[in-house]
Amino acid sequence: MKPFAVLTALLLCLAVPATAFAAKGHVHGTGTLDVAVDQGRLAIDLELPLDAATGFERAPRNAAEKAALEETARVLNDAATLFTPTAAANCRVTSVEVTVPFLEGKGAADGHADIDARYRFECATPGALKGVETSLFRHFKRLYRLQAQRSGPGGQGAARLTPKQPALSW
* List of residues contacting Zn ion (CB under 5 A): 57, 112
Please, what is the end-to-end C-alpha distance for the chain in angstroms?
Answer: 56
CB of 56 to Zn ion, least distance (A): 10
89 or 103, CB closer to Zn ion? 103
CA distance 51 to 32: 14
CA distance 116 to 123: 23
CB of 34 to Zn ion, least distance (A): 20
Sign of CA dihedral 102, 105, 106, 108: positive
112 or 145, CB closer to Zn ion? 112
CB of 101 to Zn ion, least distance (A): 10
53 or 129, CB closer to Zn ion? 53
110 or 164, CB closer to Zn ion? 110
Using alpha carbons, list the distances in angstroms from residue 46 to 13, 82, 166: 33, 11, 14
93 or 108, CB closer to Zn ion? 108
CB of 64 to Zn ion, least distance (A): 20
CA distance 95 to 85: 15
Cβ atoms within 10 A of the Cβ of 46, count?
A: 23
CB of 88 to Zn ion, least distance (A): 39
In total, the chain counts a number of residues equal to: 170
